[in-house]
Structures are given as structure tokens and as C-alpha cells.
Amino acid sequence: MIQVEGLTKRYARHVAVNNISFAVEKGDIVGFLGPNGAGKTTTMRVLTCFMPPTEGRATVAGFDVFDQPHEVKKRIGYLPEAPPLYPEMSVEDYLTFVARLKNVPAGEIKQRTGQVMERCAVADVRSKLIAKLSKGYRQRVGLAQAIIHNPDVLILDEPTSGLDPKQINETRELIKSLAGEHTIILSTHILPEVEAVCQKVIIINKGRLVATDSVENLKDRASVGSAIQVQVDTDGQADAVTVHQRLEQVPGVSKVLDRTAHGNRFVFEVESLQGRNARPDVARAVVHAGWNLLELKSSTLSLEEVFLELTGSQPAAALAPVSGVAQ
């Protein structure tokens, strides 16, 4: 549905977006994740035909954002960081106005406006002035204007920023409920947002693409080579030092750390060598020694840790090199 190839955007000499490529399939709900200044808004502005790219190209439903902006705009609903609301208009008048702007046929405007107000839960304030609305309501009016012409694609720039926790939840639920009907890209610098709403994630940092994958894969991938937690009950047959030494001898184990000890129960953190998964061998070693293996769990990295590894000062090489991570 969306194809971005070698997209670069320069402001004067500053490169805001640097040669990024990605694709979004129909029906996807994709999180566009990156710290402030990463280039998220810039990319979205190019996709929504607000600015031409400096290099590269982008297409929406096969139409080029530069050569065929009318076709693209018909198919895109855009919620910018600051929604283009008119505070002195009522909700219904404003949506009627936007519907006209977006060429909704005159005979359908009333019905369509009613539908999107229901859909975005703003029907109860239809006659209120936008200036009088809470931020949560205003954001939902922003979403209503984005979907008024029933576009295939929704592009939402930081849709929950500035909202309180309850409004954030309501907005996320609304976005998820729109997912069936629209392909959605939403930008955020908040990780839990991606986990809460999206199936896929595109991570950018300093204008460059860092990774593009499903949220699940990204987390799985980062857990390779990370620590596992082992809880052993020796029934008095061995002390912590003995168990520690035995674990250190397991093939694929690089390091063993003592965590807690309660009587005969010991908890260790065991690190695997890069690219190795020592779990099966650790389990065998414990059982073979005649001890009880009470727990064996991988302490997988949270999406937050993955993100820091991918975008932070630590080299991304800390992650096992795998296909799918952008170069």
C-alpha cells in the first residue's frame, strides 16, 4: 500500500531523512518509532504530499506522492502533530467544512459527518465550539477529520501526545478499532504505545532506518545471547558454590551470576555466548546432577532495551546480525 524507496529530505544542509526505504502492506498498523528529531514528522509530511522529497520516491496505492498528489491525497487521512482545527467552529460545522474540502459528494456530507462523529465518539459535543473541548475530544475531532473522506491510509503523527492516561487509552482503542478499515502508520517516541497498538514497527534514528520488523520478532531477536534465569533446589545435596561451578562448565555459557539463595534454593543468572542458546544444556546439567530444576526462564529484553540498543550509543552489533535489520 505504501512504498518508500531511498527517501532523503534535506532542509538546507541538514539531512532530516537519510535514504530510507520501507513498505507497508494493506491493513497493517505500523508504529513509526524514533526519538525526537529522528525524522518521523518529515517522512510523514512527504508521504502526505506536504513537501517533496529531496531524493528517492514514495508511492501510496501505486500513486507517486510527487507526481500524483491529488490521487494520493484522496487516499490518505492525515492527523498532524497539531491538528488543523478551527476553534471558533462547532464540531459538526468544522467536519462539514472539511468534508467539502475533501470532495465528499454534497449529498453524502450530512450522513458521512454523522457517521464519523459516532465513530470517533464526538457526537455528544457536535454543537460545541472546538475551543471549548477537552484535549481528548479535540484529538478525536482531529481523527474524525482524518477519516471523513474514508481514506485507505491513515497517517497519524504522535496521536496521543499531550493527552492524559485515560485519553491516551481511549485514543489508542479508537485507533485500533479503525485498523480493520484502514492501513495505519502512527508515529511515536513512546515504546509502550507501539506494543499497545501496532503489529509492526519501523525504527528510525537521526534520519536513518534502524530496523523494520514485527514487534514480536524484534523482541525475540534481541533475546538471542541474552541472560536466562535458573532456579535450582539441591535438596541439601550441594551448596551454591557447587551449583555455580557446575553451571559455568555448561557449553555455551559465558557467565554465571549469583542472584538469591533461600536454604537449598538458589537463583542464578546465566549468560549465553553470543548467538548461542544455552537453555537446553543448562536444564540437562541441573537434572543430570540430580538437582531439582524449579525454573528456567529467559530474561528477554523489553522493547525498550531493544530500542536503546538499536538507537543508543551502544553499538547495534551487540545484537546478533540478522536479516531484516537495516544496514
Ligand X SMILES: Nc1ncnc2c1ncn2[C@@H]1O[C@H](COP(=O)(O)OP(=O)(O)O)[C@@H](O)[C@H]1O
Q: Is 52 in the site for ligand X (CB under 6 A)?
A: no
What is the smallest separation between the CB atom of 39 and Mg ion, expressed in angstroms? Answer: 8
d(CA 46, CA 193): 23
Q: Is 14 in the site for ligand X (CB under 6 A)?
A: yes
Q: Which is nearer to ligand X, 10 or 176 (CB)?
A: 10
What is the smallest separation between the CB atom of 261 and ligand X, expressed in angstroms? Answer: 47
DSSP letter string over 284-311? HHHHHTT-EEEEEEE-PPPHHHHHHHHH
Question: Of these, 6, 11, 192, 312, which contacts ligand X (CB under 6 A)?
Answer: 11
Please give the residue ranges that form the binding site for Mg ion (CB under 5 A). 40-41
User: b/e string for 213-249 if b means 16 or more Cβ within 10 A?
Assistant: bebeebbbbbbbbbbbebbbbbeeebebeebbebbee
Task: Select from 10-18, 102-110, 280-288, 311-319 the region that touches ligand X (CB under 6 A).
Answer: 10-18
Number of residues this chain uses to bind ligand X (CB under 6 A): 11
Q: Is 48 in the site for ligand X (CB under 6 A)?
A: no
Question: Of these, 18, 41, 171, 231, which contacts ligand X (CB under 6 A)?
Answer: 41
Question: Of these, 38, 85, 143, 306, which contacts ligand X (CB under 6 A)?
Answer: 38
DSSP letter string over 109-158? HHHHHHHHHHHTT-GGGTTSBGGGS-HHHHHHHHHHHHHTT--SEEEEES
Q: What is the spatial order of strands in the sheet that 292-298 belongs to? A: 253-262, 265-272, 227-233, 292-298
Which 151-170 positions form the footprint of ligand X (CB under 6 A)?
none
Q: Footprint of ligand X on this chain (CB under 6 A)?
A: 11, 14, 16, 34, 36-42
